[in-house]
């Protein structure tokens, strides 16, 4: 999945007043669900929510790079930091690219159609419910995400299309690399550290980040 990774999402560096520190570590994802199809889907107008799967195979590089890690300030509100590049989930080869997109609350995401056919992008998720209707190649529509949470995105026409938008209430977030390693730059202070991958969430870790940084490994 690393090929889908834009530098804007790989590591968010905040130019804040004062000295920045680094949170880094590795996220362990020991197994993946046995089924090859998405655990949640949309079929014949019915949304089928995610169901727990049975762990059977070791996680590979693709699964590791779906991992999103973020740190939420405890003692002060998180500033909004506009993205350096336009946020997009492309409709390409009947696939949403990227499969997982982390964004900060208040961000706007575009959904350009690059296929020579119609798509209909929608979500029934609690964090954001929308339906962009059908539109053709060369067209793009946008959605602003104003609430933290996981947004599962589907296409009404192509049932196997699925993407996740991870909306976090902090500008201090990143995606893990193919080894599960991550790095976040943030001002010193108290944080709660989270990790997520499709159908899994880690427990929050309390963190007192000093100027020397912190090394924290996470697991699901």
Asked whether the predicted pLDDT for residue 11 surpasses 70, the reply is: no
Whether residue 95 is contained in a domain is answered as yes
Whether residue 124 is contained in a domain is answered as yes
pLDDT of residue 22: 97
Domain count, the chain: 1
Whether residue 181 is contained in a domain is answered as yes
pLDDT of residue 125: 97
Q: Could you give the CA distance from residue 99 to residue 89 in angstroms, rounded to a whole number?
A: 8
pLDDT of residue 64: 86
Q: Could you give the CA distance from residue 3 to residue 98 in angstroms, rounded to a whole number?
A: 9
Per the structure, the complete domain to which residue 121 belongs is given by: 2-16+54-198
Asked whether the predicted pLDDT for residue 1 surpasses 90, the reply is: no
Asked whether the predicted pLDDT for residue 4 surpasses 50, the reply is: no
Whether residue 218 is contained in a domain is answered as no
Q: What percent of the chain has pLDDT over 70?
A: 78
Q: What is the CATH number of the domain that holds 126?
A: 2.60.40.420
Whether residue 9 is contained in a domain is answered as yes
Whether residue 192 is contained in a domain is answered as yes
pLDDT of residue 193: 98
pLDDT of residue 62: 77
Asked whether the predicted pLDDT for residue 5 surpasses 60, the reply is: no
Whether residue 143 is contained in a domain is answered as yes
* Cα 209 to Cα 4, 117, 190, 191, distances in angstroms: 30, 49, 6, 7
Token couple for 117: 């056919």
* Cα 90 to Cα 60, 103, 190, distances in angstroms: 24, 15, 36
Q: What is the pLDDT of residues 62-117, one digit of tens each?
A: 788 899 999 999 988 899 999 999 999 999 999 999 999 999 999 999 999 999 99
Q: Which alpha helices (H) appear in 30-147, and where do they start and end?
A: 61-64
Q: Which residue has the higher pLDDT, 170 or 38?
A: 170
Whether residue 97 is contained in a domain is answered as yes
Asked whether the predicted pLDDT for residue 159 surpasses 50, the reply is: yes
């Amino acid at each position: 999945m690393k090929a889908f990774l834009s530098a804007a999402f790989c590591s968010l560096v905040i130019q804040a007043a004062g000295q920045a520190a680094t949170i880094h570590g590795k996220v362990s994802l020991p197994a993946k669900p046995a089924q090859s199809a998405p655990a949640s889907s949309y079929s014949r107008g019915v949304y089928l929510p995610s169901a727990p799967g049975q762990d059977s195979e070791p996680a590979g590089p693709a699964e590791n790079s779906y991992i999103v890690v973020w740190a939420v300030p405890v003692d002060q509100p998180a500033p909004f930091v506009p993205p350096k590049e336009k946020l997009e989930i492309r409709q390409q080869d009947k696939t949403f690219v990227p499969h997982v997109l982390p964004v900060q609350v208040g961000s706007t995401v575009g959904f350009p159609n690059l296929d020579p056919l119609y798509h209909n992008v929608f979500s029934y998720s609690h964090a954001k419910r929308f339906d962009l209707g059908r539109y053709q190649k060369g067209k793009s529509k946008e959605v602003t995400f104003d609430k933290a949470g996981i947004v599962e995105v589907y296409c009404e026409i192509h049932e196997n299309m699925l993407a996740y938008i991870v909306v976090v209430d902090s500008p201090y977030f990143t995606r893990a690399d193919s080894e599960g390693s991550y790095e976040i730059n943030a001002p010193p202070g108290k944080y709660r550290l989270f990790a997520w991958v499709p159908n899994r969430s880690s427990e929050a870790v309390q963190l007192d980040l000093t100027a020397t940084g912190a090394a924290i490994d996470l697991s699901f």
